[in-house]
């Protein structure tokens, strides 16, 4: 965990011990898809998965994620529409935090939208 977070927050006991864990995904999607909170492929489902997973699949080699979805998780939770929309979300998300010049912005756009081949999920 980042050193800038206060050690005395909650009397020295860290609130978060795991960053971006995916161990609850089966339970989350059971309630969403099987129990009818949001049907698979619905607008709510698409937005939920985009927000939840946009930092769980590799988009930019220069800015790797901490934890990615496994291949089996990608097959279960990501579809073609997800990958298409995730490129747009990643580009917007990346540009919202960029503090560099326009050359860097353009390089990031090219990398996000480049066809990375079969080794990358977003290369579809």
pLDDT tens by residue, 13-43 = 655 566 677 888 999 999 999 999 999 999 9
What would the pLDDT profile of 49-65 be if each residue is shown by its tens digit? Answer: 999 998 888 877 766 77
**Residue 10 to residue 86: CA distance in whole angstroms:** 36
Tokens of 104: 């860097």
Whose tokens are 């059971």? That residue is 30
Say if CB 115 and CB 123 are below 8 A apart.
yes
Give the residue with greater pLDDT, 95 vs 121. Answer: 95
Q: CA Rg, the chain, in Å?
A: 17
Say if CB 52 and CB 64 are below 8 A apart.
no
pTM beyond 0.85 = no
Give the per-residue pLDDT at 120.
43
Q: First vs last Cα of the chain: how many Å apart?
A: 34
């Amino acid at each position: 965990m980042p050193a800038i977070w206060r050690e005395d927050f909650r009397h020295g006991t860290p609130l978060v011990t795991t960053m971006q864990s995916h161990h609850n995904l089966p339970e989350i999607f059971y309630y969403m898809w099987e129990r009818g909170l949001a049907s698979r492929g619905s607008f709510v489902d698409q937005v939920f998965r985009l927000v939840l997973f946009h930092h769980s699949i590799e988009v930019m080699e220069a800015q790797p994620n901490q934890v990615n979805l496994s291949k089996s998780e990608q097959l279960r939770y990501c579809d073609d529409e997800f990958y298409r929309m995730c490129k747009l979300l990643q580009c917007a998300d990346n540009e919202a935090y960029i503090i560099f010049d326009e050359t860097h912005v353009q390089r990031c756009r090219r990398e996000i939208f480049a066809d990375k081949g079969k080794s990358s999920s977003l290369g579809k």
